[in-house]
């Protein structure tokens, strides 16, 4: 990557303020062996900046790769959306894509079994459009209020600072809505071969609005044109040791060799009437829309043809926000999407500062910004001096523009906290297990689950196996048999006894064989 000395005029080393440096190799001291001087601003300038190089790590999706390219429209969908990014066949729009794992830290391996983030930033003429998706069409939970606890369960134990199978499987087994995503995760597609050989999904349900104000619901899919490739468990484990940055390296090298990866963008469309009569909740992120009922409609292609010049500036500081939607694309009642509309910009303001949209990679392109936001840390832009910083005013002549108003929609019902934890958690998973997967794929799925579940406590294993059995008797039976063969399954009753006193607390776990189980329960 590094090349010969830069051509052109002779470069002079400088401080951050541009002041030429006479000596960058030695500090300023009193005598050859004396102490340093505070006036050595070359040293203090260098060290003070070094002390502040790191910014907060993303709480999720910390490890990632990114690149730049374009989106090209290949099919007309203007009857569904007035968004200018779609208005002309052949039109190209600059974009950036960041791929990532979810639960791991910034230094974790690229080849772990984990969902992959697949976030696309379109630099449209109507502002930024961030399509913030994953490599799976579903997710673990359907209500955003569970997201912090879900992520905590996937991260490190706060006492031991170790990954904890009890935490992972306790949450998954207590929330059967996780079954669909868990089944996808432990299938062959749970470990993609790098970032180029996986599909992407907007996952959420969105709303498209056309120029006449007519709206439909939609889902976005981006299918890899490189073909689906996955890693076996053995290959992934080997790469995690020998090349933990495999995904980043593979993407960078492919683009550097002009082997530009691409994806075809599709949408699924559902009318409001179809949504009203749908047999399942179309806004439930744990569900898919069957392609037989809602076929894929081609839209265009995404192409990556340029690597970042500086990873930190262009990838680490890249910030995606699902609330960035140009006119013609709007949110649906999807609870997870609604929660992300707040969470994502909020975390960027914490991690990058309130002016994170001033960072070049996040700033809109070709758009004349006209807002009344001002000041704050790291403010880079300012409005024209003749433009007031308040609205309404008598000077700048900005007015409301009805053509950009959001589509009107109806909402009715009593305000409440509605419980949806039993909203058919198994039917689509059953289809995935029994019809989508082939026999050899089912075998590997069950082996992968058992290999992970065996490290959880027996009562958690039992609860998880029951959930898999509810999906399909064969599903649960295979996992149970594998756990038995591994020696971690217990058919007994687990009785917890707690003793409290003023000074001590004891907790005992007794195991009773299955032959006395019934008597104890009685």
Binding site for heme, residues? 344
Residue 510: count of CB within 10 angstroms of its CB: 11
- Residue whose C-alpha is closest to residue 226's, from 187, 199, 245, 190: 199
Secondary structure class of 328 (helix, strand, coil) = coil
- Alpha carbons 24 and 182: distance in angstroms, whole number: 54
- Residue 61 bears catalytic tag: yes
- Cβ neighbours for 13, distance < 8 A, ≥ 6 positions apart: 20, 21, 24
Phi, psi (degrees; rounded to nearest 5) at 231: -100, 140
Secondary structure class of 256 (helix, strand, coil) = helix
Cis, bond preceding 392 (omega within 30 deg of 0): yes
Binding residues: 344
- Alpha carbons 246 and 108: distance in angstroms, whole number: 11
- Residue 49 bears catalytic tag: no
- Alpha carbons 95 and 200: distance in angstroms, whole number: 15
Tell me the DSSP string of 371-424: ------TT------TTS-SSSS-SSS-----GGGSPPP----S-------TTS-
- Alpha carbons 465 and 450: distance in angstroms, whole number: 10
Phi, psi (degrees; rounded to nearest 5) at 506: -120, 145
Tell me the DSSP string of 146-203: GHHHHHHHHSB-TTT-SB-HHHHHHHHHH-GGGHHHHHHHTSGGGSBSTTTTS-EE--
Contact between 463 and 457 (Cβ < 8 Å) = no
In 59-103, the DSSP E strands lie at 64-73, 92-101
Contact between 310 and 189 (Cβ < 8 Å) = no
Secondary structure class of 288 (helix, strand, coil) = coil
Q: Nearest 10 degrees: CA dihedral of 21, 25, 30, 31?
A: -130
Q: Which two tokens stand for residue 395?
A: 């000077």
Q: Which two tokens stand for residue 218?
A: 């939609």
- Residue whose C-alpha is closest to residue 128's, from 95, 87, 91: 95
Half-sphere exposure of 411 (CA within 13 A, CB side): 7
Catalytic pick among 10, 26, 49, 134? 134
Catalytic pick among 10, 49, 61, 281? 61
Q: Nearest 10 degrees: CA dihedral of 168, 174, 180, 181?
A: -30
Active-site residue set: 61, 134
């Amino acid at each position: 990557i590094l090349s010969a000395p830069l051509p052109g005029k002779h470069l002079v080393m400088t401080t951050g303020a541009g002041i030429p440096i006479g000596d960058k190799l030695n500090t300023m001291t009193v005598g050859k062996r004396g102490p340093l001087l505070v006036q050595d601003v070359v040293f203090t300038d260098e060290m003070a900046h070094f002390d502040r190089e790191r910014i907060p790590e993303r709480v999720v999706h910390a490890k990632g790769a990114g690149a730049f390219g374009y989106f090209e429209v290949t099919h007309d969908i203007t009857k569904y959306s007035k968004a200018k990014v779609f208005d002309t066949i052949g039109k190209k729009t600059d974009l950036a894509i960041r791929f990532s794992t979810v639960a791991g830290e910034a230094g974790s391996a690229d080849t772990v079994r984990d969902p992959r983030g697949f976030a696309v930033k379109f630099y449209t003429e109507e502002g930024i459009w961030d399509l913030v998706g994953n490599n799976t069409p579903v997710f673990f939970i359907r209500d955003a209020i569970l997201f912090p606890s879900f992520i905590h369960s996937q991260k490190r134990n706060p006492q031991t600072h170790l990954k904890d199978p009890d935490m992972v499987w306790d949450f998954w087994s207590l929330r059967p809505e996780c079954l669909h995503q868990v089944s996808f995760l432990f299938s062959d597609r749970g470990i993609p071969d790098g970032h180029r050989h996986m599909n992407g999904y907007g996952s959420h349900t969105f709303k498209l609005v056309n120029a006449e104000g007519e709206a439909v619901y939609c889902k976005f899919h981006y299918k890899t044109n490189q073909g689906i490739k996955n890693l076996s468990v053995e290959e992934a484990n080997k790469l995690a040791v020998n090349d933990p940055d495999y995904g980043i390296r593979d993407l960078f090298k492919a683009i550097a060799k002009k082997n530009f990866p691409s994806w075809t963008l599709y949408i699924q469309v559902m009318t409001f009437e179809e949504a009203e009569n749908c047999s399942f909740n179309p806004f439930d992120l744990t569900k898919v829309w069957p392609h037989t009922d809602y076929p894929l409609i081609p839209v265009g292609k995404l192409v990556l043809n340029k690597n970042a010049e500086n990873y930190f500036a262009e990838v680490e500081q890249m910030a995606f926000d699902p609330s960035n939607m140009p006119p013609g694309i709007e949110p649906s009642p999807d609870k997870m999407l609604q929660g992300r509309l707040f969470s994502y910009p909020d975390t960027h303001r914490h991690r990058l500062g309130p002016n994170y949209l001033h960072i070049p990679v996040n700033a809109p392109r070709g758009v004349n910004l006209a807002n009344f936001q001002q000041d704050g840390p790291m403010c880079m832009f300012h409005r024209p001096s003749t433009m007031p910083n308040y609205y309404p005013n008598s000077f700048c002549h900005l007015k409301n523009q009805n053509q950009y108003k959001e589509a009107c929609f109806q909402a009715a019902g009593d305000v409440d906290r509605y419980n949806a934890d039993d909203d058919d958690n198994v039917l689509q998973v059953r289809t995935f297990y029994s019809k989508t997967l082939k026999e050899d794929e089912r075998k590997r799925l069950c082996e992968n689950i058992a290999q992970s579940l065996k490290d959880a406590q027996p009562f958690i294993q039992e609860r998880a196996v029951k959930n898999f059995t509810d999906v399909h008797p064969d599903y649960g039976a295979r996992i149970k048999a594998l756990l038995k063969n591994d020696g971690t399954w217990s058919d007994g009753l687990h009785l917890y006894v707690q003793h409290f006193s003023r000074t001590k607390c004891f907790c005992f776990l007794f195991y009773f064989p299955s032959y006395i189980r019934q008597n104890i329960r009685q």
